[in-house]
């Protein structure tokens, strides 16, 4: 197989039969999260920022859906609303048909920053959570070790966070979130602070975990490769106002592997994302508007 970029790429809309079948099966699954007409304004008057405008999409059981877009397009605002940490100005979020009214154990969160408790061991960090509360101690510890095995950290159960690398800390954070058995895992640029090599290994870990655990994931990133590599679908947001530009069905077959990074379907999807995110954002804006932004 040649590793050069093909001269003419297929369209990202051309889906091989196995992808067509996978997506058809995915759409038949139940909706875990429904995002319905969300808008979010910050400030008022001249200070008003439309962080999100009329965002709607459904997330299906065991789907891996990414949200991508330029800095400031409202990604973190969106995920904070989904987590119940902030409220929309309009619209609503439903989990299994019920409106979200605040944070809840049905939604696990993994952020970019490391959010482990430094004074607790790795195992104690995983044990820390609502679903472990009523469980007898020995059984809970057994379960914590199972989650640590899943993220390949069994040997570090008694270590403290300060003894771990960034990638390892993030794997503990993933284990802790999964240990609470959420309906959906919300991840806001979880690998953003990691070096390229660690990031690649974390992506492989996450793909493996998705194969082994019954989990639905909504994943925020601004890394195009990461979005294509991991996702079933990618929601592309534009900035000011933060709005959906397109929802892309990723035409790359599963199981995913790094060999696919140079495949026609991968590259054509990435090219489409580039068009939507970089080209449109930079050149489609009237010059007067850009000058106004620069000079206030
Ligand atoms: P992203 O995560 O895509 O970089 P954010 O969701 O952090 O974007 O921000 C979207 C927009 O909303 C930005 O213009 C940001 O300045 C604004 N914003 C976010 N949070 C607040 C807030 N608490 N108060 C005022 N403006 C905010
Ligand atoms: Mg953000």
**Test site for ligand 1: of 77, 221, 222, most ligand atoms within 8 A of the Cβ:** 77
pLDDT of res. 228: 98
Give residue-wise pLDDT tens across range 204-246: 999 999 999 999 999 999 899 999 999 999 999 999 899 999 9
* 174 lies in the same domain as 133: yes
Distance set, CA 151 to CA 108, 137, 232, 249 (Å):
16, 21, 22, 28
Note the helical H segments in the chain: 17-28, 75-83, 122-127, 130-133, 137-150, 166-179, 196-212, 224-230, 264-274, 280-283, 287-295
Residues 271 and 216 in one domain: yes
Ligand 1, atom nearest to 40 Cα: 12
Number of structural domains (the chain) is: 2
Pairing outcome for strands 184-188 and 216-221: parallel
Same domain? For 68 and 188 the reply is: yes
Ligand nearest to the CA of 70: 1
Q: Which ligand is nearest to the CA of 112?
A: 2
Cα–ligand 1 centroid distance for 77 (angstroms): 6
Q: Are residues 286 and 148 in the same domain?
A: no
Residue 71 CA: nearest ligand 1 atom is 4
- Which of 162, 181, 200 is the last residue before a domain boundary? 181
What value does the mean pLDDT of the chain take? 91
User: Residue 75, CB half-sphere, CA atoms under 13 Å: how many?
Assistant: 25
* C-alpha 72 – ligand 2 centre gap (Å): 7
49 lines ligand 1 (CB under 6 A): yes
> Is 9 part of a structural domain of the chain?
no
At which of 181, 202, 220 does a domain end? 181
Question: Does residue 40 fall inside a structural domain?
Answer: yes
Q: Is residue 79 a part of any domain in this protein?
A: yes
Yes or no: say if 110 and 188 are a contact pair by the CB < 8 Å rule.
yes
Cβ contacts of residue 242 below 8 Å, gap of 6+?
40, 50, 51, 52, 53, 55, 69, 73, 74, 75, 77, 78
Q: Is the distance from the beta carbon of residue 217 to the nearest atom of ligand 1 less than 6 Å? A: no
Same domain, 159 and 251: no
Shared-domain flag, residues 191 and 276: yes
- What are the tokens at 275? 């068009």
- For residue 234, the Cα-to-chain-centroid distance in whole angstroms is 9
Decide: 42 in ligand 1 pocket, CB within 6 A. Answer: yes
Minimum CA distance residue for ligand 1 atom 24: 42
Compute, in angstroms, the gap from residue 68 CA to the centroid of ligand 1: 15
The residue whose CA has the least distance to atom 13 of ligand 1 is 72
Query: Does residue 98 sit in the same domain as residue 22?
Result: yes
Whether 176 and 82 map to the same domain: the answer is no
pLDDT in tens, 250-291: 999 999 999 999 999 999 999 999 999 986 544 445 555 545
The predicted-structure confidence for 160-210, as pLDDT tens digits, reads as follows 999 999 999 999 999 999 999 999 999 999 999 899 999 999 999 999 999
Q: Which residue segment(s) compose the domain that 86 sits in?
A: 17-106+184-295
Would residue 163 count as lying in a domain? yes
- Ligand that comes closest to the CA of residue 189: 2
4 lies in some domain: no
Both 127 and 67 in a single domain?
A: no
Cα of 70 vs centre of ligand 1, distance in Å, is 12
Distance 232 CA to ligand 1 centre (A): 26
**Distance of CA 7 from the midpoint of ligand 2 (Å):** 35
Answer whether residue 155 is part of any domain: yes
Q: Is 70 in the pocket of ligand 1 (CB under 6 A)?
A: no
Instruction: Decide if 204 is inside a domain.
Output: yes
**Using 50, 70 and 90 to split pLDDT, how confident is the model at 137?**
confident
Q: Is the CB of 221 under 6 A from ligand 1?
A: no
* 243 plus 281 within the same structural domain: yes
In a domain, 232, yes or no: yes
**Is the pLDDT at 293 greater than 70, yes or no?**
no
Q: Bridge partners of 221? A: 68
Burial of 206 (0-12, 13-18, 19+ CB in 10 A): buried
CATH classification of the domain holding 44? 3.40.50.300
> In this structure, are 165 and 62 located in the same domain?
no
pTM of the full structure: 0.90
Other Cβ atoms within 10 Å of 6 Cβ, number: 12
Pick the residue with more confidence: 10 or 53? 53
Where a domain ends, among 181, 200, 225? 181
Are residues 85 and 159 located together in one domain of the fold?
no
Residue 74 CB less than 6 A away from ligand 1 = yes
């Amino acid at each position: 197989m040649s590793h050069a970029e093909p001269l003419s790429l297929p369209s990202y809309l051309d889906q091989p039969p196995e992808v067509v079948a996978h997506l058809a099966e995915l759409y038949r699954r139940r909706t875990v999260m429904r995002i319905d007409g969300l808008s979010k304004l910050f400030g008022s008057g001249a200070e008003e920022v439309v962080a999100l405008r009329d965002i709607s999409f459904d997330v299906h059981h065991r789907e891996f859906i990414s949200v991508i877009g330029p800095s400031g397009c409202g990604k973190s605002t969106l995920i904070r609303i989904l987590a119940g940490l902030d409220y929309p100005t309009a619209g609503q979020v439903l989990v299994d048909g019920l409106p979200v009214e605040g944070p809840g154990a049905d939604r696990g969160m993994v952020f970019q920053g490391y959010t482990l408790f430094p004074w607790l061991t790795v195992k104690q960090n995983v044990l820390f959570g609502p679903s472990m509360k009523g469980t007898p101690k020995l059984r809970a510890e057994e379960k914590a070790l199972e989650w640590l095995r899943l993220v390949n950290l069994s040997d570090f159960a008694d270590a403290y966070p300060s003894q771990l690398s960034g990638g390892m800390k993030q794997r503990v954070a993933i284990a802790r979130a999964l240990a609470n058995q959420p309906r959906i895992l919300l991840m806001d640029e979880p690998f953003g602070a990691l070096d390229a090599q660690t990031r690649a290994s974390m992506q492989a870990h996450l793909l493996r975990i998705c194969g082994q655990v019954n989990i639905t994931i909504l994943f925020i990133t601004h890394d195009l490769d990461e979005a294509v590599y991991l996702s079933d679908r990618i929601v592309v947001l534009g900035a000011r106002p933060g709005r959906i530009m397109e929802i892309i069905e990723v035409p790359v077959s599963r199981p995913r592997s790094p060999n696919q990074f140079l495949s026609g379907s991968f590259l054509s999807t990435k090219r489409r994302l580039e068009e939507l995110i970089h080209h449109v954002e930079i050149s489609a804006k009237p010059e007067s508007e850009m000058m106004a932004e620069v000079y206030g």
